[in-house]
Amino acid sequence: MAESKKHHFVPQSILRRFKGDNATGSLYVYDKQCDAVRSSSVLSAGMENGFNTVNIDGKRINFEADFNDADDAMAVVLERLVAARTIAALDASDRLIVADAAAVQLLRTKMLRTTIRSVTGAVLAEFGRIGLIQGEPPVMDEQAARAMARNALHEREHQRDILVTRDLLLIKPELGTSFWISDNPIVRYNPNPYGDTTLSSPGIEVYWPIAADLILAYMCPTFGRRIEDGFALGDALDEPFRTQCADLHDSLTNGTPTTLGRCGTTAFLNELQVRSSSRFIYSRDDDFSLAQKILATDPTLRSVENMVTVGRIGEDPSPRTNMPRGLQLVVYGRDDHHMVPLISFNDAEGGFDVTFQHAVYLDMLMADQPWREVRIFEDGAERRCMQEIKVAAERGTERQRISVRNLIVLTEIGN
């Protein structure tokens, strides 16, 4: 049998659901680097010749077939999901298949490989800067990155097992619009200004376009809890939030598609594809004006090589630009995560003390114990981060006080 050459980083079974209604049934491809639009067959889109080949110890290995089992299982389940348009069409085994396919998709893109090389290079350069490496730092080549990506593919249980615990949500586009997909189609977003975008981060939202009119989302369980709380408020919640909560509650309960309960859903999710893609966007029509507008504002997005920033050793992390000004307490509790504006923050032996205004914050925080982690931000810059802690609270009429200290457990020898 002839060796495969066209190696896809986006499965053809998914790309077919983004074909246009033109005479040839082709995809439209937008090249961010060249600002050019062209039509393409599914076979020639989302791929690169020889992309999944690697030279190891002088032996050339073609690992394109390593994706076959996951792709075949995914194609059957997603076809059923797209036809039924409800999460109720998936049983536990289906969910595991889809989570596994999502893990595969995360690990099969060019973005993963360029990130491996970029981050490794930045770390080695930093080691050289502080004298841990003498001379020119070594450079990771493309073959080494391919070998690492291949190994990650076969060790993907960690990503799969995180995804399968998330809440599933189906999202539909607004009337008259359609979703895009890109060469790095699974995108991560955290609406919380203090939030991170790893798969296990509290508040994380993971969006995967599976058809031009359907996105499968993996949502942090705290998303559903907050929608449930908002829905329970009923008429006490002001519009438009009351309608949004009701719509999202219905989708989470029944598994039917939602527009996220707001206008601009399609533009928001398509923008994430533009920002997270390496180079190419795929669509059923040739209107990429939104992408062109985004790139005109931020030309660095024309070629994205990594989604991770490496800081400088010995320096504080860069401030988070979306954080409110002033002092903020961020708590990752037993079931949820919270941000509280502070009146004061004071270092203390073994920890710190904070004060804030409203007693409702105190009740919320203390009800979500034990805390897994607590952070202090000042004007977006992280000042403290503590885990393994003990917490004491003091209620006041105008100010509430919380003391956070290291949790130290002493065990006698022999016990």
Residue 4 vs residue 391, higher pLDDT: 391
Residue 104 — very low, low, confident or very high, per pLDDT cuts 50/70/90? Answer: very high
Confidence check: pLDDT of 134 > 80: no
Q: By the 8 A CB rule, do 389 and 375 touch?
A: no
193 cis-preceded (ω within 30 degrees of 0): no
- Cβ of 406: how many Cβ atoms within 10 Å? 12
pLDDT value at position 5? 87
pLDDT value at position 412? 42
pLDDT value at position 391? 95
pLDDT value at position 408? 61
Percentage, residues of the chain above pLDDT 90 = 75
Residue type, 374: V
* Sign of the four-CA dihedral 292, 293, 294, 299: positive
Q: Give the three-class secondary structure for 386.
A: strand
In this structure, what token pair is assigned to residue 328?
Answer: 């903020």
Residue 173 DSSP one-character state: P
Distance (Å, rounded) from C-alpha 342 to C-alpha 365?
Answer: 13
Q: In what order do the strands lie in the sheet with 351-356?
A: 344-348, 351-356, 400-406, 389-394
Confidence check: pLDDT of 299 > 60: yes
Mean per-residue pLDDT, 104-115: 95
Confidence check: pLDDT of 308 > 90: no
Q: What is the pLDDT of residues 255-291, one digit of tens each?
A: 999 998 767 899 999 999 999 999 999 999 999 999 9
Q: What is the pLDDT of residues 23-78, one digit of tens each?
A: 567 899 999 999 999 999 999 999 999 999 999 888 999 999 999 999 999 999 99
Distance from chain centroid for Cα 164: 14
Task: List the single range of 220-229, 235-244, 340-349 with lowest mean pLDDT.
Answer: 235-244
Distance from chain centroid for Cα 305: 16
